[in-house]
Amino acid sequence: MTTVQPVTLTPRLARLFTRGREFLGVEVPIMCGAMTWISEANLVSLMSNLGAFGSLAAGNMPPDEFESEVRKAQELTARPFAANLITIAPNYLAHLEILCAAKLSHIVFAGSIPRRTEVETAKRSGAKVLCFASNPSIASRMLEYGADALILEGSEAGGHIGHVSTAVLLQDVLFQFADQVPIFVAGGIAHGGMIGHLGLMGAAGAQLGTRFVVAEECKAHPRFKDVFIKARSREAIATPQYSSKLPVVAVRALNNAAMDAFGALQLDLLRKLERGEMNRQEAQYAVEHFWVGSLREGAVEGNVERGSLMAGQSVGLVRKVQPLREILLELIQDADAAVARAQQRLGDGG
Ligand SMILES: Cc1cc2nc3c(=O)[nH]c(=O)nc-3n(C[C@H](O)[C@H](O)[C@H](O)COP(=O)(O)O)c2cc1C
């Protein structure tokens, strides 16, 4: 077990975020979103040991590697953390089985929509289930399947993204479902002020990815972090889809040669599809395979030209590498100040 000094919320924020704290079983309902190659056992457990909440990325890890990563995180922290499963990954069902056997406290279904039976399997193991909801009808369906909480992720986020911005999802999903279930908001958040205001809007907590990439303890390559520090928001662009014959989930990343390579790959796959040299499933697998390899090249090997630099638009708000504890303290301080200002505006001393 690693010993670190956990952070605490101010009494005002503790009240505002009671629901998220209780649901996650932590002091600070700020989640570090799962990031393939980046959210490994050390970062995840540190996040939780600091009193916040980490999320292990399953990606498409070989099952035995994933199992030892889960075990390692459990050895490094006695506090709750989640694992994030990609429902379209070939190893997904094996990952789910591993988490159920490990009695993980929280399971996040990502990638696509999980089946009802999969949500039920997760819940039978004792885990609380979080599902992504990109519109109200998916939100209703996930709640009907038994999801215990929802995550809204706006298209400002880094990595694989949906079509709709955080601002619209807040109105479309948060305002409608926040009374029923805890909702965690992701995408475009890097300043604590935003977290405070999300709490006022009814969010149970927030999930950040991009900001935590530049944590000192994050294993991402120093060159990868350096690019994040220098980048502007508008440089974090989303990939286009060239044809409905090859539907691809958009990826938001900093523009570099990897983005051009992805464009060329799509065109090549389309040609192969047209000639009947591969089917759509094979083409989509090739797309996902590209991103996993390319992100490894960027985030792990530090090839910031040819490797993918998945990052959200909040990258423009990220200014320096800081210890994770300092980032959390800053987020809490800014969240508290924002809520205090809102109270003053309402003439409520709080
Ligand atoms: C480098 C990178 C890799 C990511 N990988 C994953 C992943 O494997 N699974 C997932 O559900 N989300 C993934 N995400 C999304 C994050 O978990 C998080 O929801 C997102 O970063 C939040 O938006 P932000 O980047 O604006 O903070 C990734 C994001 C980044 C920046």
| Pocket flag, ligand 1, residue 307 (CB < 6 Å) | no
Separation in Å, CA 266 to CA 19, 251, 273:
44, 13, 10
pLDDT at 340: 98
| Pocket flag, ligand 1, residue 207 (CB < 6 Å) | yes
Smallest CA separation from ligand 1 atom 17, residue:
33
Q: Measure CA 221 to chain center.
A: 19
Residues 6+ apart with CB under 8 A from 90: 60
**3-state SS assignment for residue 281:** helix
pLDDT at 350: 53
pLDDT at 3: 82
Mutate to test the pocket of ligand 1, among 30, 36, 37, 169 (most ligand atoms within 8 A of CB): 36
Which residues of the chain, if any, have pLDDT below 50?
none
Question: What is the widest separation between alpha-carbon atoms in the chain?
Answer: 69
Gap from CA of 118 to ligand 1 centroid (Å) = 22
pTM here is: 0.97
pLDDT at 60: 87
Closest atom of ligand 1 to 295 CA is: 1
Q: Work out the burial of residue 202: count CB atoms within 10 Å of its CB; fewer than 13 is exposed, 13-18 middle, 19 or more buried.
A: middle
**3-state SS assignment for residue 135:** coil
Q: Please provide the DSSP assignment of 188-230 as one string.
A: S--SHHHHHHHHHHT-SEEEESHHHHTBTT--S-HHHHHHHHH
pLDDT at 210: 98
Q: Which amino acid is at 234?
A: R
Closest atom of ligand 1 to 209 CA is: 21
User: What would the pLDDT profile of 282-300 be if each residue is shown by its tens digit?
Assistant: 998 899 899 999 999 999 9
Q: Please provide the DSSP assignment of 52-112 as one string.
A: SB-EEE-TT--HHHHHHHHHHHHHH-SS--EEEEETTSTTHHHHHHHHHHTT-SEEEEESS
pLDDT at 344: 96
